[in-house]
Amino acid sequence: MTINIDRTRHPGAAAPSQRGFLWGASTSSYQIEGAAHVDGRADSIWDVYARPPGRVKNNDSGEVACDHYHRYPEDVALMRELGLNAYRFSIAWPRVLPQGRGAPNEKGLAFYDRLIDTLLAAGIEPWICLYHWDLPQALDDLGGWQNRDIAGWFADYAALIAKRYGDRVKHFATFNEPCVFTLFGYGFGWHAPGVADRAALHKAIHHVNLSHGKAIDVLRASVPGARLGAVHNRQPCYPCTKSPADAAAALRFAEYWNDAFPLPQHFACYPPTLAEAVAPYVQPGDMAQIARPLDWFGLNHYSPHYIKADSNLIGASFGAPPDDVPRTAIGWPIVPDAFRDTLLDIHKRFQLPIYVTENGTAADDTLDAAGGVQDDSRIAYLKAYTEAMAQAMAAGADVRGYFVWSLLDNFEWGSGYSQRFGIIYVDFATQRRIPKASARWYADMIAAQRATKGRSVRTNRVEAAEG
Ligand code: FCB
């Protein structure tokens, strides 16, 4: 596989990173940090949601997770060994602003200083995501994403982060997968804060969009040279059967999953069904405030969806994929062509540099007799998906970087620690990190890519000199 980057397609867009193609890894605060009540961090909605027995598999929580809060130097050293040149992580809002607003927590802010400085010293570009689902509980007590005031609270939080880290960090994402935390957290009740209510869902969707636009303004004004975006899932939503009901459900589901956030944020409009549902919460000027210019499009993609009609509050839910579609350990369909098509579709619609901000797979990883992890199914998945990305790029998609999900096995939301997504195995009893075979594969692939690129640069120079 050779990645060819055609920068001529976007002559107006400055390269968002000066480092060429980025090969990185992604994580999120609640899933890896642990230290949930250390150094002044207050509860997030996930701490509270996970507390009553029966909500998360095995009653797991992020209380300790990978203890990355204390072990980040080892984790950064591992990234460096693998040759990664970028790392996307999120800030725990309740660590830096325990009440969500008001007095900042210096000890929490200092943790991210240490992390950022360690990354930079290792030659790894830090990419900050402001929100990966761990809302301060204190703000949920005031209505959370259902309260329109949250747009101001989020903008103030963005200002704090911009002021503190904007001298060293240039790449910021506002939200990670807003469609998932709104739909699962306020529509289906499967994620924190566990609400299942039509009005709550639609209020949350609009207030998240508004918060995004306000935070973009703040980041743009306070970080010189900022490169700003948001991280979205996009994936084809296929009807499970040929029935007209399933076909209609798939279209409706796609509005919530694929378009509820990118459309307002890029084109100042909601998709049709949603436009009606959010109308009561939209005030004059909101759509212009939401649609602020962005520098890149962040894509999280794992699989396509197979959707069926349902009596739930959006009339659509996940159905089973056809029997002949292979699936990962967590049951997600493996269809690399859907990834290629999604990248091309994003390129066509949004005309921005694309970063794949998450892609990867769960696998049934176990330590072998030699103390290693031979995760061949993950290698096969990553190989197929990075090849699909190369095909999309060859066909014109302007992809500038790829972040594997995830660096470490971690707290996989409702599945707790039962699903391992890392390229590095974590023995949660001892916190020992063991790079899996896929980590070696990834490191070798990155090295080979750089060698190829180096060769072609040299060749071009020789050709130019020979003229
Ligand atoms: C994505 C989430 C991430 C992780 C992966 C497996 O939807 O952004 O936190 O859970 O799925």
Looking at ligand 1, which residue's alpha carbon is closest to its atom 9?
28
Task: Tell me the CATH number for domain 22-466.
Answer: 3.20.20.80
Residue 259 neighbours by CB distance under 10 Å = 21
CA of 165 to the centre of ligand 1 (A): 25
pTM of the model: 0.94
- Ligand 1 cavity residues, CB under 6 Å: 28, 31, 176-177, 180, 300, 358, 405, 412-413, 421
* Rounded distance between C-alpha atoms, residue 362 and residue 377, angstroms: 9
User: What is the percent of the chain with per-residue pLDDT over 90, rounded to a whole number?
Assistant: 92
Residue 12: the pLDDT is 32
Q: Of 177, 276, 463, 466, which one is the catalytic site residue?
A: 177
CA of 449 to the centre of ligand 1 (A): 26
Q: Among this protein's residues, is 177 annotated catalytic?
A: yes
Backbone φ/ψ region at 416: left (φ over 0), alpha (ψ -120 to 50), beta: left
pLDDT for 181-237, tens place per residue?
A: 999 999 999 999 999 999 999 999 999 999 999 999 999 999 999 999 999 999 999
Judge contact between 328 and 361, C-beta under 8 A. Answer: yes
350 Cα distance to chain centroid: 18
Looking at ligand 1, which residue's alpha carbon is closest to its atom 4?
412
CA of 19 to the centre of ligand 1 (A): 26
| Bridge partner list, 300 | 233, 358
Is residue 458 over pLDDT 60?
no
Q: 26 vs 23, 165, 365, 408, 424, CA distance in Å?
A: 10, 19, 19, 9, 12
For the chain, the structural domain boundaries read 22-466
- Which of these, 377, 367, 255, 400, lies nearest to 328 by C-alpha position? 377
Residue 456: the pLDDT is 54
Atom number, ligand 1, closest to the C-alpha of residue 362: 6
Q: Of 358, 387, 412, 466, which one is the catalytic site residue?
A: 358
- Which of these, 81, 22, 124, 118, lies nearest to 435 by C-alpha position? 81
Atom number, ligand 1, closest to the C-alpha of residue 412: 10
pLDDT for 39-82, tens place per residue?
A: 999 999 999 999 999 999 999 999 999 999 999 999 999 999 99
